[in-house]
Copies of this chain bind each other. A is one copy, B any other.
Amino acid sequence: MIARSPLAPARFPSLPPIAGLRLACGEAGIKYKDRADVLLVAFDRPAAVAGVLTKSATASAAIAWCRKALTGGQAAALLVNAGNANAFTGAAGVESVTLSVEAVCRALGAEENRVFVASTGVIGEPLPDKKVTDCVGRLAGELAAPNWQAAAEAIMTTDTFPKGAARSATIDGQEVRICGIAKGSGMIAPDMATMLSFVFTDADLPPGVLRALLERGAERSFNATTVDGDTSTSDTLLLFATGAAGNAPVTDWKDGRLKAFAAALDEVLIDLAQQVVRDGEGASKFITIDVSEAASARAAKRIALAIANSPLVKTAIAGEDANWGRIVMAVGKAGERADRDRLSISIGGVEVARNGQRVPDYDEAPVAAHMKGQEIDIAVGVGIGRGRARVWTCDLTHGYISINADYRS
């Protein structure tokens, strides 16, 4: 049993119901005992849906199914299981997806191309789909107003705490709600992570608007986080809009009336993404990395991720060592332009290096004090242009090795 992350929030946040959907969780016994491992969400009327899926070349059968279903833009139901990723399972894996979708259709009277599925857990083991489909039949009779914490717990694998976030906003004067849950703690990297996240809103927005907002939001949230640089076969982020709030129709994502909604959505996505990092395997520090003065925002992000993924930077932070030379190294290896002789580095707001060398009379004391905290801030200027980016990661500790090497999967 892995201890709860020291970076976990004190409690699961309070999430309101979303009108137009019901859900149920149940125990299929796929891998875990005595806990829910299946989540079924049903929409009263077809919800608009958009998604961001893993770019892995070895993506799972569920990913292929969702990619196709997303072209329709309508969702009747979502089925998620934990404990088995149904990835690298060949034709049997495709068959398992088909059987699961058919079970949902039978139970809810839904159309196949409006059913979304996601699986997370072990790769390469056949999914015991009978357990899942049996469970679906039971869950269809138990659908109710959402218990979001139970839903977040049902999709956990190596997570040490359930992850949820909510915000509200107005669209043209009508209040709308956004609630999201997520799971993930290892195999976390852009793009994206062994990461499942499902976000629900009662806003009435068409799939095209959802897609535009979600893709932009994902870039600033889930695609700006990394735990170990390993991208999973199953990463899934889906946004469902029930339309129950009855706001005025908006058909252009750039419409000014969506500004507050877009900001609230971004906040939910960033909140969830940060929780995933805070549950990073073995994490003891939450690290924010800001890169500025890069040739472009893209270059800045690549440099920030090079720092965030560097085992030497991550282990130095685990050791509470303000080893900024390793940050210099990581900037250098990123493959983007950086002016060595204009490079600047701050740690915890204290300037450590400027113009390509240590600041004169560098006093390590305040930096060392910052390194002892749980929240580490690193800012790097690379002296080229005006590109900026922010990414989040965690440190690399003995805990990561223990979880991934000492415990057999």
Contacts and interface: CB of A to CB of B under 8 A. Distances in A.
Interface of A: 54, 56-59, 85, 87-93, 122-125, 186-187, 189, 228-233, 309-312, 315-316, 318-319, 321, 323-326, 328-334, 336-338, 340-341, 343, 353, 355-358, 395-398, 400-402, 404-409
Given A230-B333, A321-B408, A330-B230, A341 B57 contact: no
Contacts of A401: 315, 318, 396-398, 400-401
A337 B397 contact: no
Contacts of A334: 57
A233 to B, nearest CB: 6
A121 to B, nearest CB: 10
A395 B408 CA distance: 16
Given A228-B312, A311-B396, 7 more contacts: A57-B338, A58-B329, A59-B340, A92-B357, A319-B406, A321-B405, A396-B401
A405 B409 contact: no
A310 to B, nearest CB: 5
Contacts of A122: 325
A233 B324 CA distance: 13
B230 A336 contact: no
Contacts of A124: 324-325, 328, 353, 357-358
A263 B196 CA distance: 50
Contacts of A58: 328-329, 331-332, 338, 340, 343
Contact of A357 (B88, B310, B343): B88
Contacts of A123: 325-326, 328-329
B89 A321 contact: no
Nearest to A340: B58
A316 to B, nearest CB: 7
A128 to B, nearest CB: 15
Given A329-B231, A329-B233, A340-B57, A323 B87 contact: no
Identify the 4 closest CB pairs spanning chains A and B, nearest first.
A123-B325, A58-B332, A90-B357, A56-B332
B56 A333 contact: yes
A187 to B, nearest CB: 6
Residue among A87, A323, A332 with the highest chain B CB neighbour number at 10 A: A332
Nearest to A124: B325
Residue among A56, A341, A400, A407 with the highest chain B CB neighbour number at 10 A: A56
